[in-house]
Amino acid sequence: AHQLFSHVPRPKPFRVTNADRSVKKGMMADGLLDLLNKVSESLSSDDIVVLVLEEDGTGVDSEEFFQTLPENTVLMFLEKGQKWTPCSTSPSRNLL
Amino acid sequence: AHQLFSHVPRPKPFRVTNADRSVKKGMMADGLLDLLNKVSESLSSDDIVVLVLEEDGTGVDSEEFFQTLPENTVLMFLEKGQKWTPCSTSPSRNLL
């Protein structure tokens, strides 16, 4: 039964943020391409270069890897020239 | 049932980074050789010497040990002459 589902990806919820984390949106997508298209649409931008995991900047550029992401994974989209940076609002877990 | 699966390794997600941790990518691999091949391809490089655990530099050079790694383990690939170094407690935060 599990295998059936892996061949028919259903739309899953993701949370998508921008490079400075000022905006975050919930979006449904059944695949990497689908999500990239939706992000581009919602930005009316064609400059999306890549999606990375918000938590550690891992580049998500293969459909297979994308399919392993759990629901509600936070992804960051990067436009040309933008880079992932660690979340600066809580760098100080160590300081507590 | 468990034993069946151990004979038919399925691709698992890994996160692969380079020696200076400037790039990290999600990749699927069903084994050590598979991952080494994919890394070499994606770098168009034949100089990959070894994969090590990002967290502590443990060399991963046997297929059996590789199979014990959990999903989304972060691996670092080293090219000729490169060495693992500990994560310098957030290099990029200092640059901001």
Residues from chain A contacting residue B26 (CB–CB below 8 Å): 53, 58-62, 65-66, 68
What value does the mean pLDDT of chain B take? Answer: 86
What value does the mean pLDDT of chain A take? Answer: 86
Top-confidence residue, A6 or B76: B76
Helix (H, G, I), strand (E, B) or coil at B6: helix
Residue type present at position B21: R
Contact A90, A27 (CB under 8 A): no
Top-confidence residue, B91 or A18: A18
What mean pLDDT do residues B49-53 have?
A: 92
Structure tokens at B4: 């069946």
The least confident of A29-33, B40-44, B75-79 is B40-44
Check whether A8 has a pLDDT greater than 80.
no
Rounded to two decimals, the ipTM of the complex is: 0.78
Residues from chain B contacting residue A56 (CB–CB below 8 Å): 15, 24, 74
pLDDT at residue A96, as a whole number: 47
Strand order, beta sheet including A24-29: A24-29, A12-17, A74-79, A48-53, A59-60, B24-29, B12-17, B74-79, B48-53, B59-60
- CATH number among 3.40.50.2020, 3.10.20.10, 3.40.50.800, 3.10.20.340, domain A2-81: 3.10.20.10
- CATH number among 1.10.40.60, 3.40.250.10, 3.10.20.10, 3.90.79.10, domain B2-80: 3.10.20.10
Check whether B91 has a pLDDT greater than 90.
no
Domain residue ranges of chain B, discontinuous segments joined by +: 2-80
The predicted-structure confidence for B10-32, as pLDDT tens digits, reads as follows 899 999 999 999 999 999 999 99
What mean pLDDT do residues A80-96 have?
A: 70
Q: Minimal Cα–Cα distance from B81 to chain A, Å? A: 25
